[in-house]
């Protein structure tokens, strides 16, 4: 008899290896590879014999679509991130670090939907019913008709869901606690997580219920990362935030039914998550206008403009290799800006430590922040504060030229609304708002920007150093 083959699967990314290794080639994580039983593979039910396939009916693209496809919670920040509400018959994954507030958010969403007379079932495998009740009480949701279950077995959950009326929304908190009789590996392993997810998705498609799966992201790799099921679900949202800060961002990473660049902003309070409908005010909250090294970036998240402060600190280094530390932005992008400043503006930072921080723990992903970053760096190096009421945006190319970015009008409008009278952005930017009262300055190359901030001060300082 042939020996049963074993395989080794990375619990973080799902890569299959033929032998155990300390580090996964697929994702580079350490200690994430565990032995797995290939016979418990997804899609092969217990004891099923191979049989001849039977034809299914083919159908046309046009046809009746039953029900209103979206279920709106009325929590605007959440509805925005999902692209207009939960979609019936779809599966959505909400990922995030443990303790970030996923269960809180979903309990609030469940309560909001129950208030709108939707049938909502909340299945928790992590907390006991008493704990969930306690949280619901704290959130002011205890009086709603959300149906609770503390269960982790996939077959039992499906049987529960199948009785009575079809639920509108089912929340599974979390996928890592699910286990099925089909496979004998432990809960939280790739096999179990996949089987559980697969079963839930099948249930959603069959019944038209919307399913929300909660997934913890961990660095340790003991529990399968939600990444292994990202491709299976219809939408993926990540709930992010910084322990040191109160606000949380719900970011869309994948959405088969809507845009993927939307965010929802919340603030964690005693009574749960509070919506933040004007995030700029939050990120600009505690500004020190007089300090050099701070520039306000007029960014866009999805359809919404957001102003956020970029802070830089440039200081002479005592180390052989100066430090470069970045929080909230791409460090490769910072290196690029430093190189362009050196090559095209004669600003040498090889002897300086450079620290860059985006205020409030926010994370910028737009290249449009280049100009704000460069301005903050130059301002810090020259020791000159930038005008307190000025915003910066624009992409910097390797040649030192600055490139226009999209949504100029929207960025300027938001800046004006929040009392920023000045703006510096690339020449040739389209869609400028008509009749704006702002004092706008356009630049067409990085040296112009440097000159406008520091005049000849930066060059002079550096010459003196030598």
Q: Decide which of Mg ion, ligand TYD, none touches 272; Cβ closer than 5 to 8 Å per partner kind.
A: ligand TYD
Three-class SS string for 4-50? CCCEEEECCCCCEECCCCCECCCCCCECCEEEECHHHCCCCCCCCCC
User: Applying CB under 6 A, does 401 fall inside the site for ligand TYD?
Assistant: no
Cβ(9)–Cβ(34) below 8 Å: yes
Interaction mask 354-383, Mg ion, x per CB under 5 A: ------------------------------
User: Applying CB under 5 A, does 104 fall inside the site for Mg ion?
Assistant: no
Q: Decide which of ligand TYD, Mg ion, none touches 394; Cβ closer than 5 to 8 Å per partner kind.
A: none
CA distances, 88 to each of 168, 197, 209 (Å): 7, 16, 5
**H helices of 165-265, where?**
190-207
Contacts of 401 (CB under 8 A, 6+ apart): 444, 445, 446
User: Applying CB under 6 A, does 100 fall inside the site for ligand TYD?
Assistant: yes
Residue 52's CB: how many other CB atoms inside 10 A?
Answer: 4
The distance from CA 384 to its chain's CA centroid, rounded to whole angstroms, is: 34
Cβ(295)–Cβ(453) below 8 Å: no
Nearest CA-CA partner of 347 in 356, 355, 338: 338
User: Applying CB under 6 A, does 98 fall inside the site for ligand TYD?
Assistant: yes
User: Applying CB under 6 A, does 272 fall inside the site for ligand TYD?
Assistant: yes
Position closest to Mg ion via CB: 103
Of the residues 28, 38, 74, 99, which one makes contact with ligand TYD according to CB under 6 A: 99
Which H/E stretch holds residue 461?
A: helix 457-465
Number of residues that bind Mg ion (CB under 5 A): 1
Task: For the chain, state the CA radius of gyration.
Answer: 26
Nearest CA-CA partner of 378 in 415, 436, 424: 424
**CA separation for the pair 316, 352 (Å, rounded):** 4
Distance in Å, CB of 282 to ligand TYD, minimum: 17
Of the residues 115, 119, 133, 138, which one makes contact with ligand TYD according to CB under 6 A: 138
CA atoms within 13 A on the CB side of 428: 9
Of the residues 80, 88, 118, 135, which one makes contact with ligand TYD according to CB under 6 A: 135
Pairing of strands 235-241, 402-403: unpaired
Interaction mask 59-98, Mg ion, x per CB under 5 A: ----------------------------------------
Distance in Å, CB of 361 to ligand TYD, minimum: 16
Of the residues 11, 73, 103, 429, which one makes contact with Mg ion according to CB under 5 A: 103
Of the two residues 102 and 333, which places its CB atom closer to ligand TYD in the complex?
102
Q: Decide which of Mg ion, ligand TYD, none touches 384; Cβ closer than 5 to 8 Å per partner kind.
A: none
Nearest CA-CA partner of 217 in 208, 209, 225: 225
Cβ(403)–Cβ(396) below 8 Å: yes
Distance in Å, CB of 71 to Mg ion, minimum: 22
User: Applying CB under 6 A, does 243 fall inside the site for ligand TYD?
Assistant: no
Of the two residues 103 and 255, which places its CB atom closer to ligand TYD in the complex?
103
User: Applying CB under 6 A, does 244 fall inside the site for ligand TYD?
Assistant: no
Residues that bind Mg ion (CB under 5 A): 103
Residues that bind ligand TYD (CB under 6 A): 96, 98-104, 135, 138-139, 268, 270-272
């Amino acid at each position: 008899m042939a020996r049963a083959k074993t395989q080794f699967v990375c619990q973080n990314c799902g890569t299959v290896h033929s032998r155990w290794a300390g580090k996964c080639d697929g994702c580079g994580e350490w200690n994430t590879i565990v032995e797995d039983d290939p016979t418990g593979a997804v899609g092969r039910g217990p004891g099923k014999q191979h049989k001849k396939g039977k034809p299914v009916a083919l159908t046309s693209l046009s046809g009746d679509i039953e029900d209103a496809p979206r279920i709106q919670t009325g929590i605007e920040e959440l509805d925005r991130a999902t692209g207009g509400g939960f979609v019936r018959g779809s599966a959505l994954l909400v990922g995030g670090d443990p303790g970030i507030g996923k269960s809180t958010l979903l309990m609030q969403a469940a309560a909001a939907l129950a208030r709108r007379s939707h049938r909502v079932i909340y299945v928790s495998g992590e907390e006991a019913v008493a704990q969930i009740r306690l949280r619901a009480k704290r959130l002011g949701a205890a009086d709603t008709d959300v149906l609770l279950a503390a269960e982790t077995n996939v077959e039992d959950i499906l049987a529960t869901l199948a009785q009575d009326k079809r639920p509108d929304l089912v929340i599974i908190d979390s996928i890592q606690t699910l286990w099925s009789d089909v496979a004998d590996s432990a809960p939280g392993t790739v096999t179990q997580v996949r089987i559980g997810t697969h079963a839930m998705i099948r249930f959603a498609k069959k019944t038209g219920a919307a399913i929300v799966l909660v997934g913890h992201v961990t660095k340790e790799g003991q529990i399968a990362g939600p990444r292994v099921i990202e491709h299976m679900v219809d939408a993926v949202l990540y709930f992010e935030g910084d322990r040191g800060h109160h606000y949380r961002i719900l970011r869309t990473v994948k959405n088969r039914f809507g845009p993927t660049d939307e965010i929802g902003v919340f603030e964690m309070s005693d009574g749960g998550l509070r919506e933040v409908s004007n995030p700029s005010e939050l990120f600009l909250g505690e500004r020190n206008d007089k300090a050099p090294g701070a520039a306000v970036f007029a960014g866009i998240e999805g359809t919404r403009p957001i102003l956020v402060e970029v802070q830089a600190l440039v200081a002479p280094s005592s180390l052989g290799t100066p430090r470069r530390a970045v929080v909230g932005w791409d460090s490769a992008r910072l290196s690029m800006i430093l190189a362009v400043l050196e090559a095209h503006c004669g600003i040498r930072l090889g002897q300086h430590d450079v620290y860059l921080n985006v205020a409030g723990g926010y994370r910028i992903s737009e290249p449009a922040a280049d100009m704000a970053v460069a301005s903050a760096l130059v301002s810090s190096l020259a020791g000159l504060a930038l005008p307190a009421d000025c915003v910066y945006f624009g992409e910097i190319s390797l040649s030192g030229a600055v490139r226009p970015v999209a949504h100029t009008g929207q960025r300027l409008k938001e800046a004006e609304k929040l009392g920023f009278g000045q703006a510096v952005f690339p020449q040739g930017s389209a869609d400028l708002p008509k009749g704006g009262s702002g004092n706008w300055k356009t630049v067409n190359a990085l040296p112009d920007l440097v000159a406008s901030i520091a005049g000849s001060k930066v060059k002079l300082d550096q010459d003196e150093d030598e």
